[in-house]
């Protein structure tokens, strides 16, 4: 049986490996060499099985990471939508930090990739825009612009148009959260005086703030991340003017469509 196994294995292995069988050596050495060679030959035959086991482990690990990523992603967005995690006193910022930490701790995202994904230029630009928006808010700039816009309207459709223009224009330059926060009280005060339904005008403010932030590079943090990622992966730097050539037309058309839809809705 041993020689039959040797004969069959010799046909599958190179000649250099078969020399290790030990022929020509003394009896004890030759027998030991044959035993070692037989063990190695069986290991060679078991290599495909070990490879299949390794591939199965890799697939299971990838599937585990996929499930963990889906659960963490869904839980994080649920917390962001609700505003907090019900059992804990954690706000949206804490929810985002916890979600990111879980992705790294569970091995879904390697630490090196997580660190490289943080772009300092985007953070500095966003921080600077927030400082400017905060001081403009304290100075009453947003309230002044909103008041001037809504006071010029003569009809409900005109008021709707002025809210969309003011909200979209300010959101194109500043963070849209601040725009909505500052403009909403002024809009509510005006429509109460005019005894108009508040829903269409508040919807117009919310949609205009979101759509208007697409117009420029500084209107939304996502815009900055897109530009940075495009320059990093494709090597195509996108400047402020180049971005506006694409973003402004899309924003104008979308704001116009939003005004038509809300103006045609029944009161």
- Number of CB atoms found within 10 A of residue 242's CB: 13
| pTM for the whole structure | 0.61
- Number of CB atoms found within 10 A of residue 141's CB: 15
Statement: residue 3 has pLDDT above 60:
no
Return the structure tokens found at 134: 């905060």
Mean pLDDT calculated for residue range 153-168: 87
pLDDT one-digit tens code per residue, 119-128:
777 778 778 8
Q: Cβ neighbours of residue 33 under 8 Å, at least 6 residues apart?
A: 20, 21, 22, 25
pLDDT one-digit tens code per residue, 198-241:
888 899 999 999 999 888 888 887 888 788 777 777 777 788 88
Residue 16 confidence (pLDDT): 43
- pLDDT band at 15; cut points 50, 70, 90: very low
Domain ranges of the chain: 27-116, 120-264
Residue 27 confidence (pLDDT): 46
Mean pLDDT calculated for residue range 106-124: 81
- pLDDT band at 25; cut points 50, 70, 90: very low
Distances (CA, A) of 46 to 19, 37, 56: 21, 14, 15
3-state helix, strand, coil in the chain (%, to 5): 80, 0, 20
Mean pLDDT calculated for residue range 151-171: 86
State the average pLDDT for the chain: 76
Residue 10 confidence (pLDDT): 47
Statement: residue 159 has pLDDT above 80:
yes
Q: What percent of the chain has pLDDT over 90?
A: 8
Statement: residue 180 has pLDDT above 70:
yes
Mean pLDDT calculated for residue range 51-62: 72
- pLDDT band at 251; cut points 50, 70, 90: very high
Mean pLDDT calculated for residue range 59-72: 82
Which of 216, 143, 225 has the alpha carbon at shortest distance from 178? 143
Of 40-49, 51-60, 92-101, where does mean pLDDT reach its minimum?
40-49
pLDDT one-digit tens code per residue, 188-205:
888 888 888 888 889 999
């Amino acid at each position: 049986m041993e020689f039959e196994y040797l004969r069959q294995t010799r046909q599958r292995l190179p000649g250099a490996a078969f020399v290790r069988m030990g022929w020509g050596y003394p009896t004890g050495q030759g027998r030991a060499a044959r035993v070692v060679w037989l063990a190695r030959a069986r290991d060679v035959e078991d290599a495909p099985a070990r490879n299949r086991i390794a591939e199965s482990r890799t697939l299971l690990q990838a599937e585990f990471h996929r499930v963990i990523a889906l659960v963490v992603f869904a839980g994080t967005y649920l917390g962001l939508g609700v505003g907090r995690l019900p059992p804990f006193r954690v706000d949206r910022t804490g929810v985002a930090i916890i979600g990111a930490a879980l992705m790294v701790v569970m091995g879904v995202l390697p630490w090196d990739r997580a660190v490289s994904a943080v772009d300092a230029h985007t953070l500095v630009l966003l921080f600077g825009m927030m400082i400017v928006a905060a001081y403009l808010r304290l100075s009453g700039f947003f309230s002044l612009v909103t008041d001037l816009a809504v006071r010029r309207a003569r009809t409900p459709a005109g008021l709707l148009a002025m809210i969309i223009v003011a909200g979209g224009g300010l959101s194109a330059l500043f963070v849209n959260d601040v725009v909505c926060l500052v403009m909403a009280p002024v809009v509510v005060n005006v429509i109460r005086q005019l005894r108009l339904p508040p829903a269409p005008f508040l919807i117009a403010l919310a949609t205009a703030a979101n759509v208007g932030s697409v117009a420029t590079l500084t209107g939304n943090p996502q815009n900055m991340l897109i530009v940075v990622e495009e320059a990093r992966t494709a090597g195509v730097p996108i400047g402020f003017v180049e971005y506006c050539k694409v973003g402004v037309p899309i924003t104008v058309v979308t704001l116009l469509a939003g005004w038509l839809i809300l103006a045609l809705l029944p009161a």
